[in-house]
């Protein structure tokens, strides 16, 4: 039995939707993999600002150092990865 044109069209449409979903997942994972230190640092910054706004100034000043530290460690880790990949 030969499948009808409608069945083939629906099957190809499902395949194309799946391909689109897979490419979007890959793009999202690549974005997160590249930018996770910045996202974490931004969350830490918002946490610090939130503490300051509710009046917990000492805690806000303590946590205000976290974003810079997170970003510096991310830079150091990436530099080590680049150096190690060039040496191998």
Number of folded domains that form the chain? 1
Per the structure, the complete domain to which residue 39 belongs is given by 5-87
Q: What is the DSSP letter of 79?
A: H
Q: Against a cut of 0.75, is the pTM above it?
A: no
Sign of the C-alpha dihedral computed for residues 28, 30, 32 and 38 taken in this order: negative
70: nearest Cα among 54, 46, 51, 53: 46
Structure tokens at 34: 């590249």
pLDDT tens sequence across 26-78: 998 998 888 999 999 999 999 999 999 999 999 999 999 999 999 999 999 98
């Amino acid at each position: 039995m030969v499948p009808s044109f409608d069945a083939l069209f629906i099957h190809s449409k499902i395949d194309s939707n799946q391909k689109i979903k897979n490419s979007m997942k890959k793009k999202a994972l690549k974005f997160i993999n590249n930018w996770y230190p910045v996202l974490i640092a931004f969350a830490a910054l918002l946490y610090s600002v939130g503490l300051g706004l509710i009046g917990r100034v000492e805690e806000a000043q303590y946590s205000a150092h976290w974003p810079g530290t997170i970003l510096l460690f991310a830079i150091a880790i990436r530099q080590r990865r680049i150096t190690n990949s060039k040496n191998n």
